[in-house]
Amino acid sequence: MSTERLYLERVAGNPAMLGCARLGALAALYANVFAGDPWNEYTACSVDNTFFGRTTQPGDSCPQPDCNGILALAYPQEKTADYIAAELTRPDAVLWLLRDAEKDGKEVGFSWGFSYANPEDFAQDKYKTPAMQASVRELLRRLNLGAGGLWYLSESGIEDSPNYRGQGLSKLFHERRLEVARSLGLDAIQRTNSAGNMYRTSRRTMTQIMGPAMEADGASRRLVTTGEIVNGVADTEMPSRVLFARRSETNPTT
C-alpha cells in the first residue's frame, strides 16, 4: 500500500472533539496496536495485571506459576475509551489520527501528548512505586529537565498490519509531537519500549536518559542491549522501558 493514501488529521479542540462512535473506534484500534509485538498486551491477569500476548485467550487461567488469576482482555473497549477521553483532557493535549483514504478514511494510527507542570507530577503519575518515582524525579532534576514543565509524548501506535507498519509512519507522529513541545517552550519527554520501533525513531531526535542502551545487531538489524544502563537508572517496574528527552530551546543548559 502506498503511503500517499495515508494522511494525518490533527483533531480540533482541547479536549479533542470526538463523538462516542469515534472514541469507540479509537479504543478498538488502541487494543489492536498493543496486542502485538513488542508489547504483547492482549490479555491481563486478574490478580496482578501482568500482560500476555495473543497465544492466550480471555477466560484462560493465568500461566504464571502459583497464580490463581483468570485472564481478561487487556484493553476492554469501554474502559479504554474512558482512559483515552481522560488523557485528552490533560493540559495542552493534542491528538493526531492516521487515516487510510482507500478505506474511507478509516483510522489506522493515533498519537497524542500533553504537558506536566514539573518532574514531580510526571514521576508520580507515570510510575507506581515510591522508589521509581524518586529515581525518575531525581534524574530529571539532576539533568535540569522539566523545571518549567514537560510536554509528554504519550501514546502512539499504528494498526498491527504490514500494510501500515514498517513504513516510517511513526516518524510523522514523532515529528508532530516534538513540534508541539517546541511551540510551548517545554522540554519533551517520552517513555517507550527498548525493543520497539519508537526506540529507533526517538534516538534520532532525542537523547536517551534512562534504561538499557540498545544497538542494531548486524545484518538482522534487531535491537539488542549493549549492556549499558543509561545514567545508571533502570526501570525496575518494567526493565525494557526507557526514557528519552529533548531539551527546549529556551532551556539550553546541558
Per-residue model confidence (pLDDT) at position 1: 42
The backbone torsions φ and ψ at residue 197, rounded to the nearest 5 degrees and listed phi first, read -65, -30
Beta bridge partners of 192: 242
Instruction: Assign 3-class secondary structure to 62-122.
Output: CCCCCCCCEEEECCCHHHHHHHHHHHCCCCCCEEEEEEEHHHCCEEEEEEEEEEECCHHHH
**φ/ψ bin of 159: left (φ > 0), alpha (ψ from -120 to 50), beta (otherwise):** beta
The backbone torsions φ and ψ at residue 129, rounded to the nearest 5 degrees and listed phi first, read -95, 145
Sheet holding 51-52: strands in order across? 51-52, 43-45, 71-73
106-116 and 94-100: which strand pairing?
antiparallel
Q: Tell me which fold the domain 3-18+88-246 belongs to.
A: Aminopeptidase (3.40.630)
Beta bridge partners of 10: 96
pTM for the complete prediction? Answer: 0.86
DSSP H/E element including 31: helix 20-35
Residue ranges covered by each domain of the chain: 3-18+88-246, 27-75
For the chain (254 residues), the mean pLDDT of every run of 10, in chain order, is: 74 77 92 89 94 96 95 96 93 93 89 96 96 97 96 92 79 91 96 87 94 85 89 94 92 56
| In the block, residue with C-alpha cell 512505586 | 129
Closest by Cα among 253, 115, 245 to 184: 115
